[in-house]
Amino acid sequence: MGACLAGFFSPPYSKLTYSTPYEQLVCFCGLQLKSVVSSCEKEVSPTECEHKECKRQMLESLIFELRNTVTELEKSLNTVDNEGNEWKTRYETQVELNKQLERQINILRDKVELIRRNPAAYFFSLNWPTLPELTVGAFCIWTKISSASKGSLKRTLKQLEEEKKSLQNQLKDYELRLEQEAKAYHKVNDERRMYLSEILQTSAKLKIVERQKTDAVTGKGEKQILRKPTLCIKPTLKYFWVVVVNTNC
C-alpha cells in the first residue's frame, strides 16, 4: 500500500488536482486498474494473467478498504465539528483576549508618545477634580497649576515632594507607635493570662479547703452520734446497778 501511494505522488499522478482525498484515491486506483488490464491484454500467458488477476483483486480490496477509511474519517470529522471542542473554545477565547490586549497596548503606546511630545498638555488634560483620591489641598494646587508656568510647576513639584516626605515621616512615626502599642498589648495580655491562671488555681484550692471543712464537720457529727452512751440496768439480789455502757461494746 505504501508503494502504491508513493507511486500516486510521483508523476504523472501528482499533477492531477481533485477536490477531496476520496476522489484522489479512487482516481489513483482506477488508473492502476487500467494499467493492469492493458498489461494483461498485451501478454497472453495464463500464469501472468492469473498474476494480474490477483493484482486486480488486491487493488479492488484496497479500494474497498480505502473507501471505508474515507467514510470513517468523514464521520469523525463531522462529529468533531458538531461537538463543542474544549480546546477550540480555549483557542478562540485566547485569540479574543490577545486582540483586547493588543488594543490596550496600542492605546498605552499612544499615551506614552503624547507624554513624550508634550508632557504639560497631557498633565493639564487630566480631569483632576473627578479623581476619587483628590483632596481639598490637591484641588487648590490644581487650580494654581492651571495658570502657572514651568517655574511654578517646578516649585509646586518641590512642594509636593516635601509634603510627600513629611507624610512618609508621619507614616513611620505611626508605624513605630503601632509597634510599641502592640508590644504593650501583648505584655498586658500575658499578665492577664497569668492572673487568670492564678485565680483558677486559688479557686481550686479554696474549693478543696471548703470540701475538707464540710467533710470534717460531717465526720464529727457522725462520731458524736456513734459515741452517744446508753444505760444498761443489771438486776442483782438487793440493788440495781446502773452501768454506763458504750454503744461500741
Q: Is the pLDDT of residue 101 over 90?
A: yes
Written as nine digits, the cell of 132 is 476619587
Question: Is-contact 199 217, C-beta < 8 A?
Answer: no
- What is the residue extent of each domain of the chain? 2-83
Q: Is the pLDDT of residue 239 over 90?
A: no
Query: What torsion, rounded to 10 degrees, do the Cα atoms 64, 70, 76, 82 define?
Result: -130
Which tens digits make up the pLDDT trace of 7-22? 444 444 444 444 455 5
pLDDT band at 71 (very low <50, low <70, confident <90, very high): confident
54 HSE (CA, 13 A, CB side): 6
Across the range 39-63, mean pLDDT stands at 72
Work out the percent of the chain whose per-residue pLDDT is above 90.
Answer: 5
Distance, CA of 137 to CA of 166 (rounded, Å): 15
